[in-house]
Amino acid sequence: MLSVLQRIVAQRFHDVHAERRAIREQTLQAMLDERGAHRGFATALRGTTPAIVAEVKHASPSAGEIDRERGAAEIASAYEQGGAAAVSVVVEPRCFAGRHADLASVRAAVRLPVLCKDFVIDEFQLWKAAAFGADAVLLIAAILDDKRLAQFVALAAALSLEAVVEVHTPQELQRAIAVGAHVVGINNRDLATMAVDVGVASRLARLAPKGCVTLAESGYARPSQLRAAMDAGINAFLIGEALMRAPDPAAAVRMMREVHAWSE
């Protein structure tokens, strides 16, 4: 039986092939030519403690529907008001209800760097992410071999995209370092089983080389969890579901950022 990750990746192969037919190369190039100045993703994460990368996602395989009422731009604007360092936008359409149009609307609505989250298996997805306004793009080590991962990191740089290489194991972390990743996303979620262990990022962060930005992902819902991870040397956190479900996303981001003022 295929895992959730394998099913998503198989579907992305099919969908990306269709997307290639729907968008002309000249159209993407024209959009790239009109894209505004790059907004430094890694710089933003280094610039505040803790740095919150607040995510826009309307659904997920583990949580089902989360919030389809509020628009992406509205949510992202609230995140910015709350003090987020950057915004992540999930564009995968079938399991996460994402759209590249959301990426573009978020880019226009905020002054923060924008991360495009997708299951990248084709260089076309990097071109499309850049054309729709991304400043950074997620590359998942678990679905890319070493050659492809290195190629995508290089292409991302050529497109003025910062590559966030996502890992879940020490072996994947070493692969990310080997291809020159400057930002490593450490996912607490095992994408094969969807199980979450918030200790994963804390353990792997200690293995990352000095100067590498580590972005902890998945499972963070309380300031106490951030505080424990910060004790392990993590400064940046990607938070999605907890913020998306909050009645006041700006206040939810502020609460997470005021981690030192909370005790539980």
Q: What is the pLDDT of residues 177-209, one digit of tens each?
A: 999 999 999 999 998 888 999 999 999 999 999
Termini Cα distance of the chain: 41
The one catalytic residue in 80, 92, 217, 241 is 217
Angle between helices 146-158 and 170-178 (to 10 degrees): 50
Average pLDDT, the chain: 93
Q: At 156, is the pLDDT very low, low, confident or very high (cuts 50, 70, 90)?
A: very high
Distance CA 216, CA 200 (A): 9
At residue 260, does pLDDT exceed 80? no
Q: What is the pLDDT of residues 204-226, one digit of tens each?
A: 999 999 889 999 999 999 998 99
Phi first, then psi: give them for residue 167, nearest 5 degrees. -135, 165
Q: What is the pLDDT of residues 2-21, one digit of tens each?
A: 788 999 999 999 999 999 99
Spatial CB neighbours of 181, under 8 Å, sequence gap ≥ 6:
153, 163, 164, 165, 212
Mark whether 210 is an active-site residue. Answer: no
Mark whether 117 is an active-site residue. Answer: yes
Mark whether 166 is an active-site residue. Answer: yes
The one catalytic residue in 80, 88, 117, 235 is 117
The one catalytic residue in 187, 188, 202, 235 is 187
Domain that holds residue 225: 4-261
Distance CA 264, CA 161 (A): 39
| The two three-digit tokens of residue 18, written as one number | 């269709």
Q: What is the CATH number of the domain that holds 183?
A: 3.20.20.70
Question: What is the DSSP track for 157-184?
Answer: HHTT-EEEEEESSHHHHHHHHHTT-SEE
pTM greater than 0.75 (yes/no): yes
Distance CA 5, CA 22 (A): 25
Q: Which amino acid is at 194?
A: M
The domain total for the chain is 1
Mark whether 217 is an active-site residue. Answer: yes
Distance CA 221, CA 70 (A): 20
The one catalytic residue in 105, 218, 235, 241 is 218
Q: What is the pLDDT of residues 27-67, one digit of tens each?
A: 888 998 888 899 999 999 999 999 999 999 998 887 778 76
User: Long-range contacts for 68-73 (Cβ within 8 Å, ≥24 apart)?
Assistant: 68/97, 71/105, 72/102, 72/103, 72/105, 72/106, 72/109, 73/105, 73/106, 73/108, 73/109
| The two three-digit tokens of residue 23, written as one number | 């968008």
Mark whether 25 is an active-site residue. Answer: no
